[in-house]
A and B are shown apart, each in its own frame.
Chain A
C-alpha cells in the first residue's frame, strides 16, 4: 500500500464507508479542491512571470530599457508613409545576405581550381543548396535596388539637409561598400561569366592614370589574375566589407534615432498655404 504514489492510494475507508460520509468530510474535500486550484493558478502566474522577470533581470544589469523605449517608441512626424520603410528593407536585405552568406561559406572553397566545382556541388547536391544560393544571388540585386531606392527617397524628400548631413555621408559610404560587395561576390562562382566580368572590372581600375595599374595589381594580388585574386576577393567579400557595413549601419541607425525622421516635403507646403491664407 505504501509503495503506491499518493493519487493512486485509496483514502482511508473511502469505499467501505462511502455511504456514511458525513457533511464535515465533504467540506474538507471542497476546501482541498479549492486549495488545489489556487495552487494551479499560482504556478501558472509564476510561469507567465518568467519572461517578464528575465527582461527585468537584463534591464537591471544593462540599463537598456530607456534606450530601447526611446529607440522603438520614438515619435515620427505626420505624413510618414511607406517610402520610409525602404531603409529597414535594405537592412533586412543585408541581414539576409549575411545569414545566407555564412551558410554558403560552409560548402564553398575559395581556390581557383575548386571554387567552380564547390559551387556546382552547392547547387546540385546540397539539400536546399540551390535555394540558399539563389537567395544570396538574387538578394544581392535586391539589396542594390533597395539601397538606391532608399537613397532616392532621402534625396527627393530633402531628408539629407541639416542636421542630417553626416547620416547622408555615412549612407553614401554604405552605397559604395554595397557595390564593392556586389563586385567582389560576382567573381566567387568562378565560371566563365564571373571570371571575365571581373577581369574587365580590374582592368577598368587599371585605366586610371598613374595609380591605376598599381590598383589593379593590388586587386589581382599580383601580375596575373588567378589563385591569389580569388582568395583576396573572398576575404574582402566575406570579412572586410561586411564588418564595415555592420558597423556603419549601427552608426546610421544611431543617428536616425538621435535626430528623428523628417516629414515629407508636401506637408510643409500645406502649412505654408495655411499661413499665407491667414496673412490674407
Chain B
C-alpha cells in the first residue's frame, strides 16, 4: 500500500511491524548476550600460571625411583583441588632429551594422556599404570601400551636453597620435545600439534 500520501515509501503497518520486531529483538539480545558471555567466559579467560610449589628437600628424591608429592591445582575446591606429582632426580645417563636438560628434577603429572584418569607408579615393573582403560607408560613417561596418545605431561622444576620446587605444566610429544600444555587425548606428533590448541591449565 505505499502511496497513502505523497512520497511514502514504507506503509504504517510495515513500519510498526518492523518497530515491534526490532524492539523485541533488542530486548531479548540485551539479556541473552550477556548471559551467554557469562556462561562461555571461561573459554576465553587466561588463568594465571601456576606458582612454584615447594615439594620437599633435595635429599628426599633419588634418580632411581619416583617419590610422590601432593600439590594444589585449585586452592578453592578442598581435597578435589589437589593432585599427586611423581618426582625423581634427573639421571644424566637416562634422561638425554635435549629440551629437558635444564630441569634438575623430573616431575611427572599423574594425568593420563588417554582421558585424564590418575595414573599410579609401580616400582616393581617401573611403569605408570592407568586404572581406567589400561594405559601403560615407561619409566620416563613415554607410552608403553594402551590407548594414551602421548607421553605423560611434566612440570618445570628448580632447586632453591636446597628445596625442590615444581612449576608450570608442559606437554611432550613422543620424541620428548617440549610443547605448551595440551588437554589429555590431544595428539602432539606431526600436524596434530596445530590441530589441538593449547589451553591454560595448571
Q: Give the distance in Å from the alpha carbon of A204 to the alpha carbon of B40 in the complex.
A: 19
0/1 per residue, A91-128, Cβ < 8 Å to B? 00000000000000000000011000000000000000
CB distance A226 to B76 under 8 Å?
A: yes
- Min distance, Cβ B167 to any Cβ of chain A, angstroms: 16
A206 with B186, Cβ < 8 A, contacts A218-B40, A220-B42, A224-B201 known = yes
| CB of B116 closer than 8 Å to a CB of A | yes
CB distance B81 to A224 under 8 Å?
A: yes
Closest to B83 in A: A224
- Min distance, Cβ B106 to any Cβ of chain A, angstroms: 23
Q: Give the distance in Å from the alpha carbon of A226 to the alpha carbon of B76 in the complex.
A: 8
0/1 per residue, B103-141, Cβ < 8 Å to A? 000000000000111100000000000001000000000
Q: How large is the interface on A (under 10, 10 to 19, 20 to 34, 35 or more residues)?
A: 20 to 34
Q: Give the distance in Å from the alpha carbon of A225 to the alpha carbon of B111 in the complex.
A: 12
Q: Which residues of A contact B160 (CB under 8 A)?
A: none
Q: Which residues of A contact B195 (CB under 8 A)?
A: 209-210
Most buried by B among A196, A216, A217: A217
Q: Give the distance in Å from the alpha carbon of A232 to the alpha carbon of B184 in the complex.
A: 21
24 contacts between A and B (CB under 8 A): A112-B78, A199-B115, A199-B116, A199-B117, A200-B116, A200-B117, A200-B132, A203-B115, A203-B185, A212-B183, A212-B196, A213-B197, A213-B199, A214-B43, A214-B197, A214-B199, A217-B42, A218-B42, A223-B199, A223-B200, A224-B201, A226-B76, A227-B76, A228-B42
Seen from chain B, the residues whose Cβ lies within 8 Å of a Cβ on chain A are 39-40, 42-43, 45, 47, 73-74, 76-81, 115-118, 132, 182-186, 195-202
Seen from chain A, the residues whose Cβ lies within 8 Å of a Cβ on chain B are 112-113, 190, 195-196, 199-200, 202-204, 206-207, 209-210, 212-214, 216-218, 220-228, 232
